[in-house]
Amino acid sequence: MDFGYTPEQQALRREVRAFIAEHVTEDVLAERGSSESNTGRGEGGAMKRLYEKVYERGWLGITYPKEYGGQGGDRMTQYIVEEEFTRVDIPVGMGGSGAPAIMAAGTEEQKQYYIPGLIKREISFALGFTEPHAGADLASLQCRAVRDGDEYVINGQKMYTSSAHMATHIYLMARTNPNLPKHRGISIFLFPMDTPGITVRPLWTMQNDPTAPIGTTYGHQRTNETFFEDVRIPAASLLGKENGGWRVGAMGLNLDRVGASRYLISVRRDEDIVNFVKLNSFDGYAPAKDPAIRDKIAELWIEAQVCRLMTMRSMSIVEHGGNFTYEGSAEKTWAPEHGVRTTEAIAQMLGPYGQLLNGSPHAVESGIFAHNLQGAFQSGINHGSTQVMRDQICRRGLDMPRK
């Protein structure tokens, strides 16, 4: 056991902080605030230049092999870099990018094409999993892909394809064989968003008006419905084997679950509220002096430590080449629920200030705590809901019976 950081890791952290202090300048922050995503293809070019510098430092795609544009580094290095950039709300990780599944199941050609682009943030995927009637029960999806010579023809609808209006490509789960049991007739396809036959329609969210400030938990202003009408793609768009998509997808999701992103959402919120309460008072009333608020903050802090340590545990297991049984599910249950508890407690600590949204006079920190209230619960629904995660903890972690 070792709960510490090596001298090299500590030096890296200092180096990343110094880099951020120097390069995350006002124009970067301004552009970050105005662009809806951090794709690196932002309007002003400041974000793009920043990503180029981050890449030159070797801080993008740290855990990916050098031959695919990565650094061949370890997860802890990746984690440290990601944690520091999270504090300025600039994503530098590969969580949710589709890259883990491509590395695991892609052909040499696919790896050569996609991984360097994903690392440099020149390529980004919209994730096409969910459908109107397939959410938590993803395997019941119905979007069809039919082989036709050297092509597949796609027809169907996807829901909540969050970045479909900005992404260069889509990572699509579709049914290739409706006659097989539901988990076995599914395949994954990778293809450009500008392929003819794709229509993207916006679904505006609670965070749209007023716009959630950057750093909000589920601050998405927009997600989408995406329709596929006789979309023809080359057969080489298939990722992994035909009808083998469930395994590839599940693997990708599992790998996505590991690591920093869940916990890092909490880091921001827990640090923000402690620092806010510590430094602010309202006409002489200092919430930091209220014994009940002090007690609550300490309680949430302990929970945040459990979040952090569960994340460290997952990374340690992967670092040893091991497999999760229930640990990823535990992390994916604890972190979102802790996030909700924190967010709701903050609203009570701030009283009527806690309800003021971005742009309101007297809004606290651009209203981020109120906007978090509109989004925090969402992280317990997506990518495996906490209900389903708890079922998995029981089955895989405790060997409990299904029926």
> DSSP per residue over 226-274, as a string?
EEEEEEEEEGGGEESSTT-HHHHHHHHHHHHHSSHHHHHHHHHHHHHHH
User: Which among other proteins, ligand FAD, none contacts residue 203 (Cβ within 5 to 8 A by kind)?
Assistant: other proteins
**Nearest distance, CB of residue 392 and ligand FAD, angstroms:** 10
Binding mask 213-252 for ligand FAD (x = CB under 6 A): -----x-x--x-----------------------------
Report the half-sphere exposure of 333 (CA within 13 A, side-chain side).
14
DSSP 3-state assignment of 147? strand
Looking at the Cβ atoms of 148 and 209, the one nearer to other proteins is 209
* Contacts with 18 (C-beta within 8 Å, 6 or more apart), sequence order: none
Contact 154, 188 (CB under 8 A): no
Residues within window 328-387 making contact with other proteins, judged by CB under 8 A: 340, 344, 347-363, 367, 370, 373-375, 377-378, 380-382, 385-387
Region near ligand FAD per CB under 6 A, out of 27-35, 36-44, 186-194, 381-389: 381-389
Binding mask 188-217 for ligand FAD (x = CB under 6 A): ------------------------------
Structure tokens at 150: 């050297």
Residues within window 285-324 making contact with other proteins, judged by CB under 8 A: 285, 290, 292-293, 296
Region near other proteins per CB under 8 A, out of 106-114, 129-137, 170-178, 305-313: 129-137
385 binds ligand FAD (CB under 6 A): yes
How far is C-alpha 78 from the chain's CA centre? 15
Looking at the Cβ atoms of 121 and 220, the one nearer to ligand FAD is 220
DSSP 3-state assignment of 31? helix
Contact 116, 99 (CB under 8 A): no
Task: Count other Cβ atoms within 10 Å, centred on residue 385.
Answer: 16
DSSP 3-state assignment of 156? strand
Looking at the Cβ atoms of 125 and 369, the one nearer to other proteins is 369
Contact 356, 362 (CB under 8 A): yes
> Closest Cα to residue 93, out of 82, 80, 104, 106?
82
Burial class (CB in 10 A: 0-12, 13-18, 19+), 163: buried
Binding mask 138-177 for other proteins (x = CB under 8 A): --x------------------xx-----------------
Strands (E), 121-166: 125-128, 144-148, 151-159
**Nearest distance, CB of residue 150 and other proteins, angstroms:** 36
Residues within window 217-276 making contact with other proteins, judged by CB under 8 A: 218, 223
Binder among 26, 283, 321, 403 for other proteins (CB under 8 A)? 283
Question: Which residues of this chain interact with other proteins, rule CB under 8 A?
Answer: 130, 133, 135-137, 140, 159-160, 203-206, 208-210, 218, 223, 282-285, 290, 292-293, 296, 340, 344, 347-363, 367, 370, 373-375, 377-378, 380-382, 385-387, 390-391
Question: Which residues of this chain interact with ligand FAD, rule CB under 6 A?
Answer: 127-130, 135-137, 160-162, 218, 220, 223, 378, 381-383, 385, 387-388
